[in-house]
Amino acid sequence: MQTYLKKPFSLVKSAFLTLVVYLCLGAILSSYAQEEHVSDTTRHEEGHSKKVKISAVIIEHVMDNHVWHFFDGHYGTLHLPVIVYSTERGLDIFSSGHFFDEHHQEITYDGYKLEHNKIHRGDKEVLDFSITKNVMMLFINAGLLLIVMTSVAKAYKRNTGKAPRGLQSIMEPVVLFVKDEIVKPNIGPKYEKYLPYLLTLFFFILFGNLLGLLPGSGNLTGNIAVTSTLALFTFLITNFSGNKNYWRHILWTPGVPLPLRFIILPVEIIGIFTKPFSLMIRLFAAITAGHIVLLSLLGLTFIFRSWFVGFGSSIFVLFISMIELLVAGIQAYVFTLFSSLYIGMAVEEHGHDH
């Protein structure tokens, strides 16, 4: 009984400490904004005006970049590898730090120029294979996923016939939930064939969403290139797994009058492509919008330069962050659910008329 009484108390204590942290953050931000306002006034009087551009900070976060900024200063910037190929020069590999001088102004390096996050060499186009911020986040996400799942698999071998412990006890309910509540009901008897892909899909999106909420991290699952690749995998698996009934319903829907079939056919063909398109846009829009809202609320402190605004925006950021944690799980669930549903429709054995 005492254990159950302690749990609510610990939750309240954690929530209270989190609120205190956010309020302190608001106070610090507002103080910094006021100091920045004073220094900006001084610089303006000296003829050197500098203002904080919140929109630029937000765009820099949600977009990909060849440079990873954690905080202001030389040691707060990570210059990522640049890998470019051109027919004239071949393959060139160097650090993105060569594109900036000591005042962090963009310069030309060895004929290459970085403008608006695009690399070009004069009027010549180059193929950019660089390790950008989102690519680094992709490696981090995949590496973390491999470490977690490998450790859980080893724990299963060690604890055969025993109750799960540690990380295994955390991951097992989630794996069973995806298997029993998402994949199996929507795909049916053939679910085991697609379970590895759908489990990987779920945890990849979940880990990417959660890592994206950490300060200084990249917007991996809010990158449309990443979401389109995930949707493409679902598209290929769905259509290559489609049986005779699946394609017959698309190309020549049974039980429909002949004149209507010529109307339904283009609709069904368009539907093949709109399904993965909806998966791509849904995840991209939800994650990107959440990041923009959080950064916009934090930016209000610097815009108004007010302790009161910083205090209020920090409270809003606290609750929006809780919602974003929920959205991170919901988006992983929804993407996996619809992928399972589309695959299940493709491998379903009985016809529409049954």
Task: Give residue 11's pLDDT.
Answer: 40
The reply to whether 187 and 75 lie within a common domain is: no
Q: Which of 77, 106, 131 is the last residue of a domain?
A: 131
Task: Give residue 253's pLDDT.
Answer: 77
3-class SS letters over 138-167:
HHHHHHHHHHHHHHHHHHHHHCCCCCCCCH
- What does the pLDDT average to over 32-50? 40
The reply to whether 79 and 160 lie within a common domain is: no
Asked if residue 328 is part of any domain, the answer here is yes
The reply to whether 256 and 113 lie within a common domain is: no
Total number of domains constituting the chain? 2
Torsion of CA 176, 180, 183, 186, to 10 degrees: -170
Task: Give residue 51's pLDDT.
Answer: 54
- Label residue 26 by pLDDT band (50, 70, 90): very low
Asked if residue 257 is part of any domain, the answer here is yes
The reply to whether 148 and 108 lie within a common domain is: no
Report d(CA 236, CA 233) in Å as an integer.
5
- What does the pLDDT average to over 13-38? 43
- Label residue 34 by pLDDT band (50, 70, 90): very low
Task: Give residue 52's pLDDT.
Answer: 60
The reply to whether 206 and 265 lie within a common domain is: yes
The reply to whether 75 and 144 lie within a common domain is: no
Q: Give the model confidence (pLDDT) of 180-223 as tens digits.
A: 999 999 998 999 999 999 999 999 999 999 999 888 888 899 99
The reply to whether 123 and 189 lie within a common domain is: no
Please list, residue by residue across 159-185, b when 16 or more beta carbons sit within 10 angstroms of its beta carbon and e when fewer do.
eeeeeeeeebeebeeebeebeeebbbe
Q: Which of 63-77, 141-155, 229-243 has the lowest mean pLDDT?
A: 63-77
Asked if residue 27 is part of any domain, the answer here is no
Asked if residue 37 is part of any domain, the answer here is no
The reply to whether 302 and 176 lie within a common domain is: yes
Task: Give residue 342's pLDDT.
Answer: 95
Q: Give the model confidence (pLDDT) of 239-274 as tens digits.
A: 999 888 888 888 887 777 888 888 888 888 999 999
Cβ pair 49, 40 in contact under 8 A: yes
Q: Give the model confidence (pLDDT) of 96-105 as tens digits.
A: 888 887 777 7
Asked if residue 60 is part of any domain, the answer here is no
| Among 4-13, 50-59, 250-259, 266-275, the range of highest mean pLDDT | 266-275
The reply to whether 246 and 208 lie within a common domain is: yes
The reply to whether 217 and 276 lie within a common domain is: yes
The reply to whether 326 and 288 lie within a common domain is: yes
Asked if residue 61 is part of any domain, the answer here is no
Asked if residue 230 is part of any domain, the answer here is yes
Asked if residue 25 is part of any domain, the answer here is no
| Among 43-57, 114-128, 159-173, 332-346, the range of highest mean pLDDT | 332-346
Task: Give residue 140's pLDDT.
Answer: 95
The separation between the first and the last C-alpha atoms of the chain, rounded to the nearest angstrom, is 54
Report d(CA 235, CA 271) in Å as an integer.
11
Q: Which of 78, 104, 131 is the last residue of a domain?
A: 131
Q: Give the model confidence (pLDDT) of 302-325 as tens digits.
A: 888 877 888 888 888 889 989 999
pLDDT tops 70 at residue 73: no
Q: Which of 9-13, 111-115, 228-232, 261-265 has the lowest mean pLDDT?
A: 9-13
Domain that includes residue 269, residue range? 134-347
Q: Which of 84, 105, 131 is the last residue of a domain?
A: 131
pLDDT tops 60 at residue 163: yes
- What does the pLDDT average to over 105-115? 84
pLDDT tops 80 at residue 10: no
**Helices marked H in the chain — which ranges?**
2-45, 54-62, 133-158, 167-177, 184-187, 191-211, 224-241, 244-251, 258-304, 307-347
Percent of the chain with pLDDT over 90: 39
The reply to whether 207 and 106 lie within a common domain is: no
- What does the pLDDT average to over 14-32? 45
